[in-house]
Amino acid sequence: MSSKSTPLKIGVSACFFHPDPERPIFTGKTLQYLEQSMAHWLMTHGAMPVMIPAPIQGKQGGPLEEDYAHWLDGLLLGGGSDVWPGSYNETPIDARWQGDRIRDEYEKRLLKAFIEHRKPVFGVCRGLQLINVAFGGTLYQDIATQRPDALKHRDPIAYDRNFHDLRIEPDSRLARLIGDQARGAEKAGKTAGFSGDLLVKVNSVHHQAIKDLAKEFVVEARCSHDEIIEAIRWRGDGYLAAVQWHPEFHRAEHETLNDSPLLQDFLSAVAEQKS
């Protein structure tokens, strides 16, 4: 990784609050923001997070996605609002799940630009879903509705303290990164797919999930309870990986996965590509 004097510049996609006449401040204005935990997670390993605002489309002189991809060293697509079903050629099955079409289009342009510039990309929660959709995959619009057999993956009260076990694919890059933290299925007292499963504990803050995996990706982890896909990696030429949980929310006192190896791996790929 680069020295402290030249930190790696990691672009982070913005979250959106669209105009809301009921909001007491910035009434009727669009807000773009970066959630603090994500910025701090990147900063724990010396990276410099840079929120990328959505550019003014169709105007000359302002920076566009390609400009940010040229200037920055890597990209992190973060969590937030639902993905618009139209992004994967579906219509909403419920009015609550309209998603954010504007953010989808903005993040797909960012993803395309960073890949074309051969800059590493990492996705978190919505970021995983957006990456899958951008490459032709689909989503469950609502896990509870479309997969009633599944675990409760989002609890609005527990929020980031809603946990489940994650089963890591044994021959994956993810297993090489965090396999030493895993415990065996038999030791954990769980019923898993086969003896020798690698299990770790992660948070679960999502109600949408991958339904059809994009063809250019491999699965690196699933929820051990219901097989919901929790981590993916691109087969293509470059670094593009994503996880469904929120690494930035994990705390040692909850005995959850230590995600530092994931961040180190991403930043090492960024540094290597930059050199």
Reference 211, options 113, 35, 93; nearest CA is 93
What pLDDT score was predicted for residue 61?
59
Express as a percent the part of the chain with pLDDT over 70: 91
pLDDT tops 70 at residue 6: yes
When pLDDT is cut at 50, 70 and 90, the band that residue 111 belongs to is very high
**Rounded distance, CA 39 to CA 261, Å?**
17
**Rounded distance, CA 133 to CA 264, Å?**
26
Average pLDDT (198-223) is 97
Reference 194, options 168, 220, 231, 161; nearest CA is 168
Strand order from edge to edge, sheet including 74-77: 48-52, 9-13, 74-77, 121-124, 240-243, 229-234, 217-223, 163-168, 198-203, 183-184
When pLDDT is cut at 50, 70 and 90, the band that residue 5 belongs to is low
**Rounded distance, CA 100 to CA 82, Å?**
6
Q: In the numeric block, which tokens belong to residue 45?
A: 């390993």
C-alpha to C-alpha distances, 154 to 124, 178, 205, nearest whole angstrom: 15, 24, 5
**Rounded distance, CA 173 to CA 256, Å?**
19
Task: Kindly report, residue by residue over 140-183, the tens digit of the pLDDT.
Answer: 999 999 999 999 999 999 999 999 999 999 999 999 999 999 98
What pLDDT score was predicted for residue 60?
60
**Rounded distance, CA 23 to CA 256, Å?**
36
| Domain boundaries, given as residue ranges, for the chain | 9-274
* H or E segment and range at residue 124: strand 121-124
When pLDDT is cut at 50, 70 and 90, the band that residue 186 belongs to is very low
pLDDT tops 50 at residue 37: yes
Helix segments in 65-191, DSSP class H: 65-71, 101-116, 126-134, 143-146, 173-178, 185-188
Q: Which CATH entry fits the domain spanning 9-274: 3.40.50.880, 3.20.20.120, 3.30.70.360, 3.90.1170.50?
A: 3.40.50.880
When pLDDT is cut at 50, 70 and 90, the band that residue 193 belongs to is very low
Task: Kindly report, residue by residue over 54-84, the tens digit of the pLDDT.
Answer: 987 666 656 789 999 999 999 999 999 999 9
What pLDDT score was predicted for residue 55?
82
Q: Are 10 and 52 a contacting pair, CB within 8 Å?
A: no
Task: Kindly report, residue by residue over 246-262, the tens digit of the pLDDT.
Answer: 999 999 999 999 999 99
Q: Are 130 and 107 a contacting pair, CB within 8 Å?
A: yes
**Rounded distance, CA 231 to CA 235, Å?**
13
When pLDDT is cut at 50, 70 and 90, the band that residue 275 belongs to is confident
Average pLDDT (18-34) is 92
**Rounded distance, CA 44 to CA 166, Å?**
24
Task: Kindly report, residue by residue over 80-107, the tens digit of the pLDDT.
Answer: 999 999 999 999 999 999 999 999 999 9
**Rounded distance, CA 10 to CA 263, Å?**
12
What is the value of pTM for the model shown? 0.92
Q: Are 111 and 69 a contacting pair, CB within 8 Å?
A: no
What pLDDT score was predicted for residue 59?
61
DSSP annotation of 243 reads E
